[in-house]
Amino acid sequence: MPLTFVTSTRGQPMLCLQGYVFRKDRQTNERTTWRCVEKTCKARIATEDDSHGEPPMHTHSPDPVDIKVRGVLSQLRESAAQRPSAKPTALVAEVVGKVESTATLGKLPKPDLLRRRVTHARRRAGPGLPTNPLRREDLIIPPFLKVTTKDVSFLYYDSGEGRSDRIIVFATLANLSLLKESNEWFLDGTFKD
């Protein structure tokens, strides 16, 4: 049976076995030893490829709900890093929406804490969002910010990096056709000397 893992907040793999979670202890060649995440528990187990040694005795009971919660959090961290421009609220709703077990839902951190985890995971995954440039000619737009969260092209026009008279237009074609069909447009702007 293949081994099951979740990732820690630091992005390290954790082994899940029979309701217990283990963090990596040491690795020598193909053999990895793991120790139980419970601080007072001395349980250790070794794995090699897809197989594991004899499951150890623990000083506490297994917690399958804890494993499910860790799984949900790993998934959240993964989507946070893979889709850097998706809103934290949307990612949290999406990942939590897939959880069916009420026991797992009950043990999940509150939504605002989950959203903070998204931000944290992105910071760890880096380089992430570029720092704000002081001049528009210095603005470098990374590819993931040139598309919407639905992967539709959003950078409509860019007169070019390195120009002080640079003009950048953000819009999707659907946005433009909305404008085209509208009789009234309301505008806002920020102007600086």
Q: Does 43 bind Zn ion (CB under 5 A)?
A: yes
- The alpha carbons of the chain give a radius of gyration, in whole angstroms, of 24
Residues paired with 21 in a beta bridge = 16
For 136, the token pair is 């528009």
Measured distance CA(103)–CA(25) in Å, rounded: 30
Give the number of other CB atoms < 10 A from CB of residue 136.
Answer: 15
State which of positions 12-41 bind Zn ion (CB under 5 A).
Answer: 36, 38, 41
Smallest distance from the beta carbon of 110 to Zn ion, in angstroms? 27
Smallest distance from the beta carbon of 38 to Zn ion, in angstroms? 4
The span of 50-58, 78-86, 168-176, 182-190 binding Zn ion (CB under 5 A) equals: 50-58
Measured distance CA(63)–CA(38) in Å, rounded: 11
Closest CB to Zn ion among residues 62, 142: 62
For 32, the token pair is 């990895």
State which of positions 84-143 bind Zn ion (CB under 5 A).
Answer: none
Q: What does the binding site for Zn ion look like in residue numbers (CB under 5 A)?
A: 36, 38, 41, 43, 58
